[in-house]
Amino acid sequence: MNIIDIINKKRNKLELTREELEYAFNGYIKKEVKDYQMSSLLMAICINDLTDQEVFDLVDIFIKSGDTIDLSSVSGVKVDKHSTGGVGDKTTLIIAPIVASLGIKVPKMSGRGLGYTGGTIDKLESIPGFKVNLTKEEFVKELNDIGMVVCSQTDSLVPLDKEIYTLRDVTATVESIPLIAVSIMSKKIASGADKILIDIKAGKGALVKTEHDAKLLRDLMIRIGNKYNKEVNCIISNMDIPLGICVGNALEVAEAAEILDGRVKNNLYDLSLEIASNMISMGKGISIVAARDEAIEAINSKKAYNKFMEFVSYQKGDIESMVISDKKIEIAATKSGIITFIDAYKVSEVSCKLGSGRLTKDDVIDSTVGVFLNKQVGDSVQVGDIICTIYYNKVKDDFDIAKAFTIQ
Ligand code: URA
């Protein structure tokens, strides 16, 4: 067997055997298959897809590349959540405390930014001192102690995904439905929850651009879940416009805290409630309507906010010391009218260029920069009104962000 024949086979749209997938992917982790060869295979997969059998084999190979987490020592139902990634998506920081404050255990391993979409771990790292790397023992202990935990995928959990995810990010292969399904489901199954809720983003600012593809991804992930006896539910949510009003790491943490404090009610609040309600319904076996009431009460009573603060300090974060750059450029409307659209992809592209995301594997993130949307879709503006604010640090440029706004 050799890697060139395997790449050729996929390029020619043929089904790879389990042995061939093992040879390529396990070979990559052993560094016998080179970056450029894996990039080529990933591109062939991106273009020609994988069959269900290839997907099931690959999920299994991914899971077996490392350890799995046994949560049997944690009492109660454990419900995990995952998002396929969107612009301004900080829902994990909001829903995990809501759900955990209601007695459902939330074990969550998160990722870093991928393409132009941000990652929860990058956001949490903008809190000084916050410990994102936990051992398996620390993960289980925190779940037992406070009912929730959000940390970086440990090095020993699906290490293959870590390698492949980073490579996909810089080789234009992030948008493959089977690769997304393998990446998400291998991590979710390995990290041990009983039930899994997946928020599939569809739209301009998402990895998955259309509702049609989102449904294909949903069905594929449910089929993978069935193989492993896991209850998997998916919601499909729109990602044409940014979620909430902040894009950029520290800015987004601050925004999540405001939502939990009950101070802001916007599209981010609505989606967070929808995800939390689904998780509570799965965890408690109650209707979505009853679950939603409980979620609202957790916010209004500050139970969820207090759980968030408990979680941040448990993982040694000092939120008071978090820094948002004090260098800013305010962007004014050049036309009067109603804002009918804010292009999530463009906003995220600007935020990434300011330093909030990675363009190459080794880029270091600047957590202090990003974009604040002073105006939202539906707002009316006059010429000269500030529509958004750019927080910059090293790169002083507005990157023509006004183009992201449609004013009619
Ligand atoms: N989230 C993941 O964990 N993996 C992907 O491939 C995309 C989103």
At residue 383, the pLDDT reads 97
Give the pair of three-digit tokens for residue 188. 């979710």
pTM of the model: 0.89
pLDDT in tens, 295-330: 999 999 999 999 999 999 999 999 999 999 999 999
- Give catalytic status of residue 82 as yes or no: yes
373: which residues sit within 8 A by CB, 6+ positions away? 242, 245, 246, 247, 342, 347, 387, 388
At residue 153, the pLDDT reads 80
At residue 103, the pLDDT reads 97
Is-contact 179 165, C-beta < 8 A? Answer: no
- Give catalytic status of residue 112 as yes or no: no
Q: How far is the CA of 114 from the centre of ligand 1 (A)?
A: 8
- Please, how many CA atoms are within 13 Å of residue 346, restricted to the half-sphere of its CB? 15
Q: Is the CB of 237 under 6 A from ligand 1?
A: no
The three-point CA angle 89-192-180 to 5° equals: 45
Q: Which of 10, 78, 81, 82 is catalytic?
A: 82
The span from the CA of 317 to the CA of 171, in Å, is 33
At residue 117, the pLDDT reads 67
DSSP 118: -
Sheet holding 231-238, edge to edge: 79-83, 195-202, 231-238
Q: Is the CB of 111 under 6 A from ligand 1?
A: yes
pLDDT at 115 over 70: no
- Give catalytic status of residue 168 as yes or no: yes
pLDDT in tens, 355-379: 998 777 677 899 999 999 999 999 9
pLDDT in tens, 1-21: 999 999 999 999 999 999 999
pLDDT in tens, 196-255: 999 999 987 788 889 999 999 999 999 999 999 999 999 999 888 999 999 999 999 999
Task: Return mean pLDDT, the chain.
Answer: 94
pLDDT in tens, 60-70: 999 999 999 99
Among 83, 158, 180, 191, which residue has the most ligand 1 atoms within 8 Å of its CB, making it the best to mutate?
180
At residue 118, the pLDDT reads 72
Among protein residues, the one whose CA lies closest to atom 1 of ligand 1: 84
Q: How far is the CA of 85 from the centre of ligand 1 (A)?
A: 7
pLDDT in tens, 254-285: 999 999 999 989 999 999 999 999 999 999 99
Q: Is the CB of 190 under 6 A from ligand 1?
A: no
pLDDT at 111 over 90: no
For the chain, percent of residues with pLDDT exceeding 90 = 85
At residue 11, the pLDDT reads 98
* Amino acid type, 3: I
CA nearest neighbour of 80 among 179, 184, 165, 169 = 184
C-alpha dihedral sign at 126, 128, 134, 140: negative
Q: Is the CB of 184 under 6 A from ligand 1?
A: yes
Q: Is the CB of 114 under 6 A from ligand 1?
A: yes
At residue 97, the pLDDT reads 98
Q: What are phi and psi of 249, to 5 degrees?
A: -65, -60
Q: What are phi and psi of 75, to 5 degrees?
A: -75, 160
At residue 170, the pLDDT reads 85
Among protein residues, the one whose CA lies closest to atom 3 of ligand 1: 184
pLDDT at 116 over 70: no
DSSP output for 174-194? TT-HHHHHHHHHHHHHHTT-S
H/E stretch holding 288: helix 288-300
Q: Is the CB of 242 under 6 A from ligand 1?
A: no
Q: How far is the CA of 189 from the centre of ligand 1 (A)?
A: 14
pLDDT in tens, 146-199: 999 999 888 888 999 989 988 998 899 988 999 999 999 999 999 899 999 999
Q: Is the CB of 173 under 6 A from ligand 1?
A: no
Tokens 């944690």 sit at which residue?
74
